[in-house]
Structure 1
């Protein structure tokens, strides 16, 4: 028999600080380091995309393709293709790449921690989007934004007593919560999955005859690492796409 000891959940997502004072806001740990890498790499995308070269380099081509992807696959279908819609592209680009880079560190050796597995980051990003899209709505419609947000077009007057409270709860209370949890839950679940198979592989390796079963969790871990790379991209895309949908809905003139 062999002992399989799974680390407590708090140990999976909580990392001791290596700089600053423990428990203080300015304490620096692995998660804060991932935040810093995410910011730096996102800035690098803008720097590479803004280089003025007659013949773009490979890195610059990648940056330009990324910008086109955000404009064509997120901004255009959710906010619009006019100048006002394209004005949201830098924000969407920043949001997408920051989330992607902080996610992808889940599979980077020696770090192996997605910052989005700590709810603080998804919550901050969701609340930032919440303020931005409602602020954009009030800027576009003035006080009439309340009616724009709560009264869907074509709803009979008799149903407004039912529809308006539902729209209020959905758009002003549930949206930031669901926006947060979707990103947080997916990255936390993937992180726990990878830790589970890593612990299982280590336990089988250190055991006696059970080492013959080691290839099973080892192969599964390779598969789930590749899967989490896809999840890192998809969750960044979905979060940014939803932000675009919310902004587009707030500034639209369909009513």
Structure 2
């Protein structure tokens, strides 16, 4: 297991070839009145091109907070995150959003699709946010995910498996260097979970770094590495 606490030098994060994601000494605290929650406590983490890393641990261990910081959706109180050599942490939100649109695909358990847009229009929106317009990429992606016949469907009309695959299409719209997935199959049964995970594995085989936060045994089996979190630290 290569997720460690301690100094970046000791963790060896920057010395490995092919590393696309580098996170060093991440801390994240939340305060509500007199209460303080220490969600991340000095987490150092990396993921390489073509690698699937599963982040596992009990509820409240910091998995979702870690993924949010890695994606630039949240900013750590301490530490840095770099994706493909670009620092995404400790920048204005507009800069983080631009880097995320270009470099990072984010697949959420729910909420990955804009309800008032069709499946195809959701992919188009993701491309426009990155300053791109590539209908061929969109159509090819939907075809590879078995969604060509559902391109004009509204999210509310999709089955659970279709919604998961449509969310994956949005996450992969701009050929991201890094794919982050937070419980992507949490609402799926085993029958619909398996093809989604095969598609994620295929994306890793295309040299994308993949990080999945999940409780699923199937995700553990899929992963090249499993990292355990407990109370915001590596277990």
Q: Normalised by the size of structure 1, how large is the TM-score?
A: 0.25
Larger radius of gyration: 1
Which structure's residues are more often strand, by fraction? 2
Which structure's residues are more often helix, by fraction? 1
